[in-house]
Every structure is written in structure tokens, then in C-alpha cells.
């Protein structure tokens, strides 16, 4: 998606059960989300009213609750579910979501998937 306004949430860290190995299924690990969401901010810019914008706190709280209670094998699956929650529940038309699993590969700082999704017209 080119142009347009964006609302960003960067570096949202959540502990969850994630991974395919037996030892990973028994512990909680940190995942990190970076979200870029298309959103027309012009109404909120004029009104200075939270009701006229995308409530990034509500988005964050919803994703934290979902991730903390989830149990996925792959970061790909978790990323897709998070994207669908934001698209469907918050009426975001387009988003780019990066889901990172710091320290997942020895010698690397981070591994991640980066996805872009659009809401399907109803």
C-alpha cells in the first residue's frame, strides 16, 4: 500500500508458548510485534478526540491478551492470527506486521516474519 496515514505500534513484547521443540512447549518465550496500520488520521487531527482515531492502546491490549493465552508452534501462524484480529476487530484496511522471536537461532539476535495483509471487502 502506497501513501496514506499510518498508526504504528513498535516493539510490543509479550511472553507466550511458541516453538516446535518439546522444551519450548514447557516454557514461555518473548515475542516482539511491530505493527504498521493504515488509518486516516485527519478526523482525529481536527477533533483531538480518541473516538476519531485508531485506539492503539486497545489494539495492543487485545493482542497481548491473545498472545499470552495462545500456544503456537510457528511464528508464521501466530503472525497470521494477530493480523486477522487487527483487520477484523478494528476495521484496519491494511497492515504490515513483523513478529520476532529474539534469540531463536544461536548466534543471531533475532528471527522474524514480516507479513502484509488487507481486509477483504464484505
pTM recorded for the entire structure: 0.92
Q: Give the count of domains, the chain.
A: 1
SS3 state at 67 = helix
Tens digits of per-residue pLDDT, 57-111? 999 999 999 999 999 999 999 999 999 999 999 999 999 999 999 987 788 889 9
Residue 27 pLDDT greater than 70, yes or no: yes
Look at residue 23 and tell me whether its pLDDT is greater than 90: no
CA–CA separation, 62 and 50 (whole Å): 17
3-state class (DSSP) for residue 18: strand
Structural domain span for residue 85:
6-118
Kindly report the backbone phi and psi dihedral angles of residue 26, in degrees, each rounded to the nearest multiple of 5, phi listed first: -105, -5
pLDDT at 2 over 60: no
The pLDDT tens digits of the residues spanning 5-18 come to: 999 999 999 999 99
Q: Is residue 1 part of a domain?
A: no
| Cα–Cα distance for residue pair 92/54, rounded to 1 Å | 8
Q: Which residues are catalytic?
A: 101
Instruction: Kindly state whether residue 65 falls inside one of the protein's structural domains.
Output: yes
Tell me, what CATH number does 47's domain have? 3.30.1130.10
Cβ pair 7, 90 in contact under 8 A: no
Amino acid at each position: 500500500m502506497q501513501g496514506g496515514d499510518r498508526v504504528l505500534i513498535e516493539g510490543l513484547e509479550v511472553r507466550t508458548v511458541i516453538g516446535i521443540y518439546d522444551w519450548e512447549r514447557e516454557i514461555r518465550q518473548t515475542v516482539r510485534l511491530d505493527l504498521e496500520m493504515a488509518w486516516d488520521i485527519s478526523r482525529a487531527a481536527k477533533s483531538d478526540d480518541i473516538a476519531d482515531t485508531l485506539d492503539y492502546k486497545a489494539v495492543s491490549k487485545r493482542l497481548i491478551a491473545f498472545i499470552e493465552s495462545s500456544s503456537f508452534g510457528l511464528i508464521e501462524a501466530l503472525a497470521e492470527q494477530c493480523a486477522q484480529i487487527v483487520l477484523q476487530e478494528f476495521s484496519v484496511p491494511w497492515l504490515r506486521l513483523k513478529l520476532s522471536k529474539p534469540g531463536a537461532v544461536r548466534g543471531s539476535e533475532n528471527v522474524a516474519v514480516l507479513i502484509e495483509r488487507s481486509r477483504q471487502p464484505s
